[in-house]
Each structure stands twice: as C-alpha cells, then as structure tokens.
Copies of this chain bind each other. A is one copy, B any other.
Amino acid sequence: MSLSATGHADSCLSIDLGAIVSNWRTIDSLSSAATITAAMVKANGYGLGANKVAEALAQAGCTEFFVANLGEAIALRQHLDGLGQNQPNIMTLHGCHLDQLDDHAAFRITPVLNDLEQLSRWRMFSQRQSDRLPALLHIDTGMTRLGFDTDQIDWLIENKSALDGVDCRYVMSHMVSAEIADDPINARQLDAFNEVRQWFAGIPASLANSAGSMLSAAYHFQMTRPGIALYGAHPADLPTDRLTRVVTWQARIVQLRHAKAGDRVGYGGTYLLGRDSRIATVGVGYADGYNRKLGGKATVLIGTQTAPVIGRVSMDSITVDVTDIDPAHLRHGSVELLHDGYDLSRMAGDADTIAYEILTRLGTRPARHYQNA
C-alpha cells in the first residue's frame, strides 16, 4: 500500500476484515455445530471499528454482538439498520441502568442483567410491554466484577418467579484465567457454572471467551463469545498459527536528517549518538496510540530492513536510526510499525502491557483503511 492512502494523516492502520471473518470461523470451528459463536465488538471493535467489524461478521453469519454499554449499542444498531441488517442481537454487558429502559427497547438492545436490581428493573419494564423483552443473566463464578454474586443467585434460585416476564435467552458467566489452560480456576469456574445452571433448565448457557473457546468442549455450551482472537491476537500460552493477522500500521517519514556523533536525540536528550547518523522522524507518537514506553525498545520495518526507535517517543513523532538502512528503502517515505516481524504481541511486551490495551488505545488520528470487506 502506498502512503498516499493516508491522505492528510501521518499514519495509517490497515484492517483486514477478511482476516477477522476468518478468525471468527476458526473459533467457530473449535466448537460443535450446536454452539453459536458470538462476537465481542465492545471498545469500538477493540479499537479497529465496531461498525465495520460487525458489518463483516454479520454478513458472514454472526448473529450475536456484545458491547459494553448503551452508547456503543445504539451506535452499532443504527449502523446495522442503515445497512438493512436489522436482525443481529446486540447485548450490553453493563446491563440496563436507570433512564436506559426505553432506549434499550427502542433500539432493540438486549441487556445482560448483572444483579437483582437490574433484573427487577428490566422485569417490571418488560411486564408493561406487549411482548416479553429479552435479557441475558450473568452469574459470577469467580471474577468478582460483574454478575449475580453468591447470595443473590441463591435468592434467585429460591425465587425463580423473579424471572417471570423476561425472555431469558442465556445464562452466562465470565472466565478469570482461561488463557492459562492448566489453571485450576478454570475447572472450578466450570463446576460452579454447571451447578448454578442446573437450576435454570432449558435456558441456553455461555461461558467461554477467546481462550475459553480453545479449551475442551465442556466449556463451549450453547454460545462462545470470542473477542481478542477475532482481532488476530492470541490469548497467552496458546498457539498462534491458526489465527490470521488483522492489522498493520504504516507511518510517514516526516523528515530525514543527518546528526553527528555526540548529538543527543529527543526530549531530555536521553539518547546519545555514538556515530554520525541518519535519523528518520516518523509521524506517529503516543497521541496516536504508539505507547510511550516503546522508545528505545521497538523496531520498525523499512523495506526489508528493521531499524530501532531511539530516544523518547514524542506526542506526535518518533525518531528512528536509519544509518544502516539502504537509501532505496527510505525513498518510499514510510515505515511499518506493526508487521510480521513485530506484531501486536511484541509491541505489547515492549510496552509492558497486553495486546488488548495496544489495540483498544489506538488513537483516532491514524487513518483507517479496510481491506477485504
């Protein structure tokens, strides 16, 4: 891709929607035909564009989309309706809050009910409608974050009529450490989930996130809910060869300069040049989501060669030592920030975080180009 595709921007994310569909099918293939595979598109589709991602997955047959809150849900519903795709289900993981009842119904959004308060609110509202409204029931089995806690679930088991008037589509829970396949908490959560769900016979169940989808069939139930794997980043400890890379990131060389041995580079003068050097200043910085910790650690690809990021990452630019780079490669005027030799996992490691944070904190300033729609 030529950098002219970035237009007025200085960097460009290329997002392969075909790869996202391929990854969704890969996760889907891990479970039996009786298991539906949903898609996590919260946090703007893990930073890559919820509308585009959901559109591609809906066309591929995905019918269940999860977001965090009502704002995300409405934006996605409006986009899909505009395409004539008004069938997919959209679920809010944070549930339905005060003053959000009417809009959940108006935009056909299904709340995930996390406690008795949310359940009571949705149930009373549902009972005033002509049809029962759909909902998911979230049971906590060890995250201590969202979902019915032990006392509330005990109460609900004793008072099952509290569900009357709600169309409970799934009972779900969320895994704490599924990316560590042999963590004993996985089996403990599975046991706890099975123990609770027997009290809700006839209601389909869902437990597995991306990593959970890669555990045994016992974790799959009627629906899996992959997120990070769709976007090409593998949960830790698991083989990566079955997922396809989704995103590359290219940035403009804003300036090429000569500098002398003894010169210092960037804020604080932290990097001392040991030789006469050629420096490329590249138009991406931490405001674009290029983590500030990558200074002095990351490399970029220029043509077929890699070059180190030196000095501190600035708000809008980085400096790269291109002294050893073939001038012919520099003539293209751009570098690759994310590529086969330096993927999300490497970048996350150098930034001392996880691929999820790298993706979801990509800025709005990079141009986004979608391929294989």
* A172 shortest CB reach to chain B, Å: 15
Q: Known contacts A70-B8, A258-B151, A361-B363; decide if A177 and B316 are in contact (CB<8 Å).
A: no
Across-interface contacts of A74 in B (CB, < 8 A) = 8
Question: Which stretch in A28-36, A51-59, A217-225, A266-274 binds the other chain?
Answer: A266-274
Across-interface contacts of A308 in B (CB, < 8 A) = none
Which residues of chain A in 262-291 are interfacial with respect to chain B, using CB atoms and an 8 Å cutoff? 263-269, 273, 279, 281, 283, 285-287, 289
Q: Known contacts A94-B283, A115-B257; decide if A365 and B43 are in contact (CB<8 Å).
A: yes
Interface 1/0s, chain A 352-364, versus B by CB < 8 A? Answer: 1110110011011
Q: A176 at interface (Cβ–Cβ under 8 A)?
A: yes
Q: Known contacts A71-B365, A267-B177, A365-B43; decide if A360 and B315 are in contact (CB<8 Å).
A: yes
Which residues of chain A in 281-324 are interfacial with respect to chain B, using CB atoms and an 8 Å cutoff? 281, 283, 285-287, 289, 292-293, 311, 314-317, 319
Task: Determine the distance from Cα of A144 to Cα of B103 in the docked complex, in whole angstroms.
Answer: 53
Across-interface contacts of A149 in B (CB, < 8 A) = 257-259
Q: Known contacts A44-B365, A252-B97; decide if A176 and B267 are in contact (CB<8 Å).
A: yes
Q: A373 at interface (Cβ–Cβ under 8 A)?
A: no
Q: Known contacts A43-B316, A314-B145, A356-B315; decide if A268 and B177 are in contact (CB<8 Å).
A: yes
Q: A255 at interface (Cβ–Cβ under 8 A)?
A: yes
Q: Known contacts A353-B292, A361-B363; decide if A144 and B255 are in contact (CB<8 Å).
A: no
Q: A100 at interface (Cβ–Cβ under 8 A)?
A: yes
Copies of this chain, whole number: 2
CB–CB B287/A47 < 8 A: yes
Task: Determine the distance from Cα of A264 to Cα of B281 in the docked complex, in whole angstroms.
Answer: 46
Across-interface contacts of A289 in B (CB, < 8 A) = 361
Task: Determine the distance from Cα of A279 to Cα of B149 in the docked complex, in whole angstroms.
Answer: 11
Q: A90 at interface (Cβ–Cβ under 8 A)?
A: no
CB–CB A287/B144 < 8 A: no
Q: A95 at interface (Cβ–Cβ under 8 A)?
A: yes
Across-interface contacts of A100 in B (CB, < 8 A) = 8
Q: Known contacts A68-B316, A103-B8; decide if A279 and B353 are in contact (CB<8 Å).
A: no
Q: Known contacts A8-B70, A264-B142, A317-B145; decide if A95 and B287 are in contact (CB<8 Å).
A: no
Across-interface contacts of A22 in B (CB, < 8 A) = none
Most B CB atoms within 10 A — which of A94, A257, A267, A292?
A257
Across-interface contacts of A287 in B (CB, < 8 A) = 42-44, 47, 360-361
Q: A185 at interface (Cβ–Cβ under 8 A)?
A: yes
Known pairs A44-B287, A149-B257. 12 more at Cβ < 8 A? A9-B69, A43-B363, A47-B287, A95-B254, A115-B256, A142-B269, A143-B265, A145-B266, A145-B311, A176-B264, A315-B360, A360-B363
Q: Which residues of A contact B (CB under 8 A)?
A: 4, 7-10, 42-44, 47, 68-72, 74, 93-95, 97-100, 103, 114-115, 118, 140, 142-146, 149-151, 176-177, 185, 252, 254-260, 263-269, 273, 279, 281, 283, 285-287, 289, 292-293, 311, 314-317, 319, 333, 352-354, 356-357, 360-361, 363-365, 367
**Closest 5 pairs between A and B when the two form their complex, measured CB to CB:** A8-B71, A43-B287, A287-B360, A68-B316, A8-B70
